[in-house]
Structure 1
Amino acid sequence: MYSKTYTAPLALAALLLAPAAQAQEQVVKIGVSSPLSGSNAFAGKDNENGVRLAVEELNAKKMTIGGKPVRFELRAEDDQGDPKAGVIVAQKFADAGVKYVLGPYNSGVAIPASRVYNDNGIVMSTVGTNPKITQSGYKRVFRIVASDTQAGAAMAQHAASALKLKNVGVIDDRTAFGQGVAMEFVKQARKAGIKVAGHEYTTDKATDFAAILTKLKSQKVDAIFFGGYAPQAAPMARQMKALGLNAKLLGGDTLCSPEMAKLGGDAVGENVLCAQGGAILDRQAGGPAFEARYTQRFKRKPDVYAPSFYDQTMFIAQAMKTTNSTDPAVVAQALHTQTYKGVVGTYAYDAAGNMKQSAVTIYTFRNGAPAPVSQ
């Protein structure tokens, strides 16, 4: 009798309390804007995977912020590496209540999208390297790797001091990234005493570079710096070999991918060098463990920027924890003042959102994979 009289109300109370407890959970929506289709989809998926691994690990820790449990929810959108599509993705995230976005990958997408993110109070963390990205005064925009200024300068210095190059040609694909890194290379190469024999132009959709390469071959260049992406750089390397153009192919971070060797075959080896922001993963204390977790989870090794996107997601979570807030305004301010030791470097940002210090590593290719030659 008593059992029936008192347990029913207690059970009912428990059922009523359960939704209330669940309502206390804070959902933090994390967006990823990257090219998930097209020629750079390999990079976009790698970026997404880096964030996904961080989100899964954070959720497994069952964090609490302000005394309430937090669950991170990942939303990935394909910006196609296209500025117009990137702005549409940015507005879609804003409409969905996303307050933190990792990406875009391409500078040309990051520049216009940053305004949408800023206007909607969203924290944007990009690997876009064009200096213009952080020159708009937006306090919630962060560049989580070295800029074109740093990468272009590092490659120019390596070309002059280590490779002893005297006469180089330059090609860029007219994208914000390609132009930016090419111009920085030209500026620093000339300062280092290297002659720039010619500056040619192509597009990020081109596959035939014979005319440009033949022109540069006639100018007896000992290297070509290409401001562009691996899907164009790889056939360029093959065509250089076919034309008997025995010059080195230099580039920025976008060439530092296993995809470059995959697409270029035996035309990509120690003749190709690239400058990538960040420390060498397997030489960092947490690098091998990260690579093992990533490989187990996604059945492939991390590419160029998965570690950086992972680190920045973890840095954002740290900022939430230390400020006891998920408010992007509060978190952004903390990102400007705190430091975070990640798996591929230490993160600290200046007032503009640039890394205060970012290592740049020069890579070449050995046995079909990027291999560091200096840092």
Structure 2
Amino acid sequence: MSLAIAATLAFSGAAFAQEQTVTIATVGPLTGGIAHIGKDTENGVRMAIEELNAEGTTIGGKKITFVMQSEDDAGDPKQATTVAQKLVDKKVSGVVGHLQSGTTIPASKIYYDAGIPQISPGATNPKYTQQGFNTAFRVVANDGQLGGTLGSYAVKTLHAKNIAVIDDRTAYGQGLAEEFTKGAKKAGANIVSTQYTNDKATDFNAILTQIKAKKPDVIFFGGLDAGAGPMLRQMKQLGIKAKLMGGDAICTTELPKLSGDGLIDDQVVCAVAGGVAPSGKKAMDDFNTAFKKRYGHDVVIYAPYSYDATMTLADAMKQAKSTDPKVYLPFLAKINHKGVTGTVSFDAKGDMKNAALTLYTFKAGTRTQIEVVTK
């Protein structure tokens, strides 16, 4: 072998050694009744990965190629833990997910045991960050912040005196309904009925008939848009004039399609765990424009948060000069990342500092912002 060829091979080997593939996983319900929300989350991660690769990210002197690994947990806790173990075995560098509290909480123990950072773009149950896992983070407000705000708003702004509560018995629905009830009672409301369903139900006539007799001013639903749509149609059929309130999972751009002619202007009041102040509106508008150009449709709900979660993981890696989870995790805990949804910064538990909430209603079939509240 000539010296020239040997030198060329050595240079090529050195160049190759300076390149690294880093896998960031995203997990959510890609099948089932809320697959559209899971796909929205996946699309946000993909946008971030594509941008990071386009800008030519370098970490610790190595050219990084980010790869997205998407997994479907189908909104099922058992499948969520199976997927989590698969990702641990794959040795992914970070996880954006899971989407729902009921899947995020059981999966979080598996990521914690493996030391893999996890940022949920949608799980709001307070229990997620109360387990003492230093790998668990979220980029949205928790149920205590969101439910409490809705409960207070129902009484103080909507002047509701009598309120009925329905929850779908999932970790998300139950947790949100409990926090709403606390907030509403604290503000002086009377809870006239508490009813239970499940996250697969679409027939609420029996529950709503019982509730109608109580003449509530507001019905609060701790559940998903896939249930809220039929519920609104059945409320109209039964002549129930009460407002329907709920959290981020009913506050989607799909709700008008799911509810059909059951969606009456200003009847729904919902809150999204996130939002931007007027100063951040341009960044969010720019993201929404780029998202529509990339995918051909509007953001459903969580794409900006999964995008920010991905960028936050990458930012922590850059600051740590390492993609090794145990090396960049301390930097993630102290991060101050300027994202499209606002500044991402975590408290000691992994909850968002200064979490924002956005209150919405629907007018002429379009989700319309009422106001942004910072907790």
- TM-score interval, normalised by the smaller of the two chains: over 0.9
Sequence identity (%): 47
SS of residue paired to 1:303: coil
User: Where does 1:266-305 land on structure 2 (aligned, <5 Å)?
Assistant: 266-268=261-263, 269-280=265-276, 284-305=281-302
**Consecutive aligned runs of 4 or more in structure 1 exceeding 3 Å deviation:** 8-13, 280-283
**How many residues end up aligned between the 2 structures?**
369
Distance 1:92 1:82 in 2: 15
- Aligned counterpart in structure 1 of residue 334 of structure 2, from 330, 334, 337: 337
User: Where does 1:16-165 land on structure 2 (aligned, <5 Å)?
Assistant: 17-126=11-120, 127-165=122-160
Partner of 2:183 in structure 1? 188
The structure-2 alpha-carbon separation of the partners of 1:332 and 1:284, relative to structure 1 and needing over 3 Å to count, comes to farther
Distance 1:281 1:205 in 2: 35
Contact 2:185 / 2:191 at 8 angstroms: preserved in 1?
Answer: yes
- Aligned counterpart in structure 1 of residue 370 of structure 2, from 363, 368, 373: 373
Distance 2:75 2:238 in 1: 31
Instruction: Please list the CA deviations of residues 160-185 of structure 1 after superposition, one character each: whole Å capped at 9, or x if unmatched.
Output: 11111110100000000000000000
Contact 1:281 / 1:287 at 8 angstroms: preserved in 2?
Answer: no
Distance 2:200 2:342 in 1: 33
Letter of the 1:335 counterpart: L
Distance 1:327 1:218 in 2: 59
Contact 1:99 / 1:121 at 8 angstroms: preserved in 2?
Answer: no
The structure-2 alpha-carbon separation of the partners of 1:128 and 1:253, relative to structure 1 and needing over 3 Å to count, comes to same
Instruction: Please list the CA deviations of residues 292-321 of structure 1 after superposition, one character each: whole Å capped at 9, or x if unmatched.
Output: 111111111112111011112111111111
Instruction: Please list the CA deviations of residues 49-91 of structure 1 after superposition, one character each: whole Å capped at 9, or x if unmatched.
Output: 1010000000111111111111111000000000000001100
Offset at 1:252?
0.5
User: Where does 1:143-222 land on structure 2 (aligned, <5 Å)?
Assistant: 143-222=138-217
Partner of 1:3 in structure 2? none
Contact 1:278 / 1:360 at 8 angstroms: preserved in 2?
Answer: yes
Offset at 1:16?
5.3
Q: Which runs of 5+ in 2 are unaligned?
A: none
SS of residue paired to 1:29: strand
Contact 2:18 / 2:61 at 8 angstroms: preserved in 1?
Answer: no
Offset at 1:330?
2.8
Letter of the 1:110 counterpart: T
Q: Compute the RMSD of aligned alpha carbons.
A: 1.6
Distance 2:330 2:221 in 1: 37
Distance 1:291 1:175 in 2: 30
Distance 2:56 2:159 in 1: 54
Offset at 1:344?
1.1
Q: Which has the larger radius of gyration?
A: 1
- Answering whether residue 224 of structure 2 is matched by residue 243 of structure 1, we say no
Letter of the 1:93 counterpart: L
